[in-house]
Amino acid sequence: MADATIIDGKAFAATLRERVAGEVAALKAEHGLTPGLAVVLVGEDPASQVYVRNKGEQTEAAGMYSETHRLPADTAEADLFALVDRLNADPNIHGILVQFPVPAHLSQDRIVARISPDKDVDGLTVLNAGRLASGLPALTACTPVGCMMLIRDALGGELRGKRAVVIGRSNLMGKPMAQLLLAADCTVTIAHSRTVDLPAVCREADILVAAVGRAEMVKGDWIKPGAVVIDVGITRLPSLDPEKAAQGKTRIVGDVDFKQALAAAGAVTPVPGGVGPMTIACLLQNTLTAAKRIHGLEG
Ligand SMILES: Nc1nc(=O)c2c([nH]1)NC[C@@H]1CN(c3ccc(C(=O)N[C@@H](CCC(=O)O)C(=O)O)cc3)C=[N+]21
Ligand SMILES: [Mg+2]
């Protein structure tokens, strides 16, 4: 079979960011309102540093207000909560994102519970997660929303009745991804580390979303011929060039064996340049949506 289409998430994301920037400009002109995003990073995970920097730059490029709070790895819960409380009350801030993972002494669940659902641009609070599951308007996790846009585009909008398999069951990715596919009338399976015969489950999928964080786990013979394959994984491995590897140079791979997927799938996202850029573009969109809702400009 011919090689799969490579889904250009980077280009799709650039278009989405431009659309958001246009809406931001209109919101400023008509209502004097500038959407604001606060990103909180606890500790110094180097991969997180890259995302946090990209988020800050792209937020400003879209005409939004951006704040980045870098806290030491040993920050006490009370100090982090005090910051979240301030951001919840700050009229210039409409979106709050605390980057995960956080150091082990902090509880992700307790942090999420502290964030105002109105500013919860990750869609992680029980209110937003429950609203999504109930089919009500909700701030919804950025990566699944970005994946849905790519899936719809790849399938020309024809999702009804399709078999979808999501590998991974996290609150930030697997669960909301499954909810969005279900809302689009797919027949949805959530697979995970305890799933029996995962390759066979994956082979059923017209739409396969891999979000487990295990480098190149999904092989070509796990993929139904012609399927749409969305690779959410992002793992840093040493460079293939031993000299560069010795200098600490890395390469990024996804959860899907990309070369094998190219021969089997109908369409596949690359890593990098696939889902990652969509996540940030959707974060900007969520911040815009949150700003409008907080000011009563949108249901
Ligand atoms: N509360 C929270 N919300 C998140 O949404 C969240 C998080 N924590 N923790 C970490 C993960 C990961 N994540 C990415 C965002 C952008 C890229 C991205 O832009 N990737 C580019 C560049 C990759 C690179 O060069 O490093 C690409 O794939 O092309 C990747 C990964 C958001 N996450
Ligand atoms: Mg990607």
* Nearest-CA residue for atom 3 of ligand 1: 99
- Asked whether residue 296 is domain-assigned, the answer is no
Number of the ligand 1 atom closest to the C-alpha atom of 124? 1
pLDDT for 178 equals 98
- CATH number of the structural domain spanning residue 84: 3.40.50.10860
Average pLDDT, the chain: 96
Looking at the predicted structure, is the pLDDT value of residue 1 above 70? no
Residue 143 alpha carbon, nearest atom of ligand 1: 5
Whether the Cβ atoms of residue 296 and residue 27 lie closer than 8 Å to each other: no
Is the pLDDT at 299 greater than 60? The verdict is: no
Q: What are phi and psi of 165, to 5 degrees?
A: -120, 125
Is the C-beta atom of 81 inside 6 A of ligand 1?
A: no
Same structural domain, 149 and 94: no
Are residues 16 and 282 in contact, defined by beta-carbon separation less than 8 angstroms?
yes
Residue 217: pLDDT above 90? yes
The pLDDT of residue 101 is: 93
Pocket residue to mutate for ligand 1, from 234, 286, 287, most atoms within 8 A of Cβ: 234
| 9-31 and 46-61 helices, crossing angle to 10° | 50
Are 89 and 194 in the same domain?
no
- The residue-averaged pLDDT of 46-58 equals 84
Local confidence band at 49 (pLDDT 50, 70, 90 cut-offs): confident
pLDDT in tens, 268-294: 999 999 999 999 999 999 999 999 999
Give the domain range for residue 227: 142-276
Whether 209 and 245 share a structural domain: yes
Q: In the chain, how many domains are there?
A: 2
pLDDT tier for residue 53 given thresholds of 50, 70 and 90: confident
Starting at the earlier edge strand, list the strands of the sheet with 95-98: 65-71, 36-42, 95-98
Whether 273 lines ligand 1, by a CB cut-off of 6 Å, is yes
- Separation of alpha carbons 171 and 141, rounded Å: 9
Asked whether residue 116 is marked as a ligand-binding residue, the answer is no
Burial 265-298 (b: 16+ CB within 10 A, else e): bbbbbbbebbbbbbbbbbbbbbbbbbbbbbeeee
277 CB within 6 A, ligand 1: yes
Contact 167, 213 (CB under 8 A): no
Q: Are 178 and 209 in contact (CB under 8 A)?
A: no
If asked whether residues 109 and 228 sit together in one domain, one would say no
Tell me which residue has its CA closest to atom 30 in ligand 1: 276
- pLDDT band at residue 23 under the 50/70/90 scheme: very high
Q: Are residues 100 and 153 in the same domain?
A: no
pLDDT at 59: 96
Closest ligand to Cα 235? 1
Residue 209: φ, ψ to 5°: -115, 120
- Residue 223 has a pLDDT of 98
Q: Is residue 221 part of a domain?
A: yes
Together in a domain, 42 and 158: no
ipTM higher than threshold 0.90: yes
**Rounded average pLDDT over 42-64:** 89
pLDDT digits (tens, 9 = 90+) for 221-246: 999 999 999 999 999 999 999 999 99
| Residue 122 is among the residues annotated as catalytic for this protein | yes
> Rounded to an integer, what is the distance from CA 170 to the centroid of its chain?
12
134 is in an annotated binding site: no
User: Would the CB of 269 count as within 6 Å of ligand 1?
Assistant: no
Q: Is-cis flag, bond preceding 199, omega within 30? A: no
Tell me if 136 is assigned to some domain: no
Instruction: Assess whether 146 and 180 both reside in one domain.
Output: yes
**In a 10 Å sphere around its CB, with 0-12 CB exposed, 13-18 middle and 19+ buried, how is residue 250 labelled?**
middle
167 shares a domain with 86 = no
Report how far apart, in Å, the C-alpha atoms of 231 and of each of 5, 223, 235, 244 are: 14, 12, 11, 26
Q: Is pLDDT above 80 for 47? A: no
pLDDT, position 179: 98
